[in-house]
Structure 1
Amino acid sequence: MTSAGLSNTLPIIDIAPFLTTDPQDADKRAATAAALHSACVEFGFFYLNLDAYVDRSEAAELARLAKEFFALPQEEKDKLSLKNQDSARGYARLNENVTNGKADAHEGLDLYKPVDKPDKTKPVWGENQWPTVPGFRKKYEIWVEKMKVLGLVVMEAMSIGLGMTREEWAELRSQVDDSFWVMRVIGYPPLPKGHDGFSCGAHKDYGCLTFLYADPTPSALQVFLRRPGTTEADKTGLPSEQGSEKGVWISADPIPGCVVCNIGEMWETWTDGLYRSTLHRVVHRGSNYRVSVPFFFEPNFNALVKPLDAVARTKANEGIDPTPTRKPIVYGDFLVSKVGNNFAVEGKGRYDS
């Protein structure tokens, strides 16, 4: 335990109770909802056990297909270049993405929710570019559909953890039921010896929920846990990326049957700061080629994200001023303000905060 009495180990939460309507599972659902609430308050990160939802072989197949794509000749991958579309959908070369002003040592393929009347001159409004690797598109589209359903399941569980009424949940659900999802397929070669940077620099996710599947590579994904008063320094020998915040970087190694889940900045607005998005980064110093597949379950493009009445109610019950401190956000506008930086600011990454 830390000096603040909090664990430095991410919790593992089983979503199985929310995949059934059996009345006998009501207590288990309540326990899962409470665990999600605690994880979001204390960590902003947790493991989600999906063994009751997807077969482990499905995720492993995604990794195999990703490695097959990244092993293609550079000229083949470049045929899917971001510049062919809206500079958001497509393939980015090694070191092409930038975080915090520094090139990230990874390559990636970005996919977004298909839109009506695509227009590649508009940010995020182009068309997805799919590899010709046999089976790639089919397997990934199946995963997308499963993650969209999972997003709604986890959102409902979180609404219970926050003490929302059924009517309040229905209203929140209407803001995420046509998720403007994003999926990245990312390849990480080993960092060269003595490299003073990152495979992916420290950042916070700006959306709703991230479901990350990664191959079994250990000691790559790192999460910053805010621990006020701690004196434990960052022992990685890397440049500080957490500013003046006190805390510790931990490894969030893959666990079989689980995805790593974290909350994005939209949850900060919904909860008026009760839940906070957490810094994380990738430092891959192993000898293998690592792949990861993060799925970002986001609000609807036109969703108005604003502090929830349930949070204000909890504050009032605790004698705290319930007046919201966060301003409402239209998610699509917020997204374009982030991704749109690719169009105007040289050297600024779309995932920079």
Structure 2
Amino acid sequence: MPSQTSSLPIIDIAPFLSDKPEDQEARRLTANAVHLACRDYGFFYLNLSSYVDSAEPEYLTTLGRRFFSLPQEEKDRIRLANEDHARGYARLKENVTNGKADNHEGIDFYRPVEKPDKTKPLWGENQWPAKPVDFKEKYEVWVEKMKKLGLIVMEAMAMGLGMTQDEWKELRSQVDDSFWVMRVIGYPPLPNDHDGFSCGAHKFLYADSTPSALQVLLRQPGLVGSDITGLPSEKGSESGVWINANPIPGCVVCNIGESNFANAEFLVWEIWTNGLYKSTLHRVVHRSSNYRVPFFFEPNFNAHVKPLPAALRLQDGSAKQQLKSSVVYGEFLVNKVGGNFDRYSSD
């Protein structure tokens, strides 16, 4: 069992892009690497150089930069209040993490729904910027690629857990219509007097070209280290030290995900694996301006998330007696999103 180090594992997804029989062993090794990374870190670098051209995400961030440089009144044309208070543009410090305003602005998109109704939580329509003119076209192409990639990574995780074909088929039916979320985020430099972070500690394919911006809490029980930024430790009850997840060309950073449900931890993969996989705290600290496009590959809206038999087989009897709670994903999401933003008035 590899010990935790001060850097995250790097995993190449290429073997899962091929269906050649001779690549089966490479897929097995990749799946095992994903399993160990999820179990020991909750984070890993995913090498996508064989899946996407690096120029594509770079252009997406350029489009984001152009949008965020527009006059405020232009950006407010697609503000959250126009729709369901979840889809659309959020002003600087309107997004809230752990009760503190985050020093960023962004646009949020969700999977389109049938019969949109903006009076219902999460059931409105996505609001696409009119400028830049090719914004919607380029980002919709990216969404389709990330949805396919999400299923690929899910298959690798299923194989790493030792799932049977029937078990993988069942799990796939819970994520094959992913209620995905995509955010386009702009980060101005973090003010010295700001009581918070660019984005506070929380538990996504995640991309950023800025060194030291994305920070991950490396769990080491009993270890209390100095914070690498001089900012508040923001670790809650967890022991460990913050490490930088600096950019690696051709790679994105993957996290198995976290959110908060009814004041109790709700972790999709923690539930699926009965606690074998644990999400890892991470945060964003920007000392310069930059942009990122996180994509969240989520379960289907009506997915019933519960411990997987394959995960239980990897655990001893005592763990089986302490099953994680089950939940319907859409019910969790509606509760979560309601507390993410400070709503501002129509005027």
Give the match's secondary structure for 1:185. Answer: strand
Q: 1:271-327: CA deviations, max 9, x gaps?
A: 0111011111111113xx2000000000000000000001112224xx545235211
- Is it true that 1:211 corresponds to 2:205 in the alignment? yes
Q: Which amino acid aligns with 1:145?
A: E
- 1:338 maps to 336
Q: Give 1:119's match in structure 2, choosing from 117, 120, 138.
A: 117
- Within-5 A mapping of 1:215-230: 216-230=209-223
Q: Give 1:234's match in structure 2, choosing from 227, 232, 235.
A: 227
- 1:294 maps to 294
Aligned counterparts of 1:246 and 1:158: Cα–Cα separation in 2: 27
Contact residue 262 and residue 277 of structure 1 kept, 8 A: yes
- 1:106 maps to 104
Q: Give 1:252's match in structure 2, choosing from 222, 227, 245.
A: 245
- 2:17 maps to 19
Percent identity of equivalent pairs? 66
Q: Which amino acid aligns with 1:223?
A: V
Aligned counterparts of 2:202 and 2:55: Cα–Cα separation in 1: 30
- 2:275 maps to 273
Contact residue 67 and residue 129 of structure 2 kept, 8 A: yes
- Within-5 A mapping of 1:119-158: 119-132=117-130, 133-158=132-157
- Within-5 A mapping of 1:27-38: 27-38=25-36
Q: 1:145-203: CA deviations, max 9, x gaps?
A: 00000000000000010010000000000000000000000000011235453111111
Aligned structure 1 segments of 4 or more residues deviating by more than 4 angstroms: none
Aligned counterparts of 1:177 and 1:196: Cα–Cα separation in 2: 40
- 1:183 maps to 182
Contact residue 307 and residue 326 of structure 2 kept, 8 A: yes
Q: Which amino acid aligns with 2:312?
A: A
Give the match's secondary structure for 2:315. Answer: helix
Contact residue 96 and residue 340 of structure 2 kept, 8 A: no
Aligned counterparts of 2:193 and 2:235: Cα–Cα separation in 1: 22
Aligned counterparts of 2:318 and 2:191: Cα–Cα separation in 1: 51
Give the match's secondary structure for 2:215. Answer: strand
Q: Which amino acid aligns with 1:134?
A: V
- 2:160 maps to 161
State the TM-score, normalizing by the size of structure 1: 0.91
Give the total of aligned pairs.
Answer: 332
Runs (5+) with no aligned partner, structure 1 = 205-209, 348-353
- Within-5 A mapping of 1:58-69: 58-69=56-67
Q: Which amino acid aligns with 1:172?
A: L
Aligned counterparts of 1:342 and 1:187: Cα–Cα separation in 2: 17
Give the match's secondary structure for 2:205. Answer: strand
Runs (5+) with no aligned partner, structure 2 = 258-266
Aligned counterparts of 2:102 and 2:88: Cα–Cα separation in 1: 17
State the TM-score, normalizing by the size of structure 2: 0.92
Aligned counterparts of 2:200 and 2:276: Cα–Cα separation in 1: 25
Aligned counterparts of 1:231 and 1:118: Cα–Cα separation in 2: 48
Contact residue 42 and residue 280 of structure 2 kept, 8 A: yes
Kindly tell me: are residues 48 and 189 of structure 1, through their superposed partners in 2, closer, same or farther at Cα, counting changes over 3 Å? same
Aligned counterparts of 1:251 and 1:305: Cα–Cα separation in 2: 32
Give the match's secondary structure for 1:75. Answer: helix
- 2:200 maps to 201
Aligned counterparts of 2:114 and 2:105: Cα–Cα separation in 1: 28
Aligned counterparts of 1:341 and 1:217: Cα–Cα separation in 2: 28
Aligned counterparts of 2:156 and 2:3: Cα–Cα separation in 1: 26
- 1:88 maps to 86
- Is it true that 1:307 corresponds to 2:301 in the alignment? no
Aligned counterparts of 1:184 and 1:244: Cα–Cα separation in 2: 28
Aligned counterparts of 1:98 and 1:320: Cα–Cα separation in 2: 38
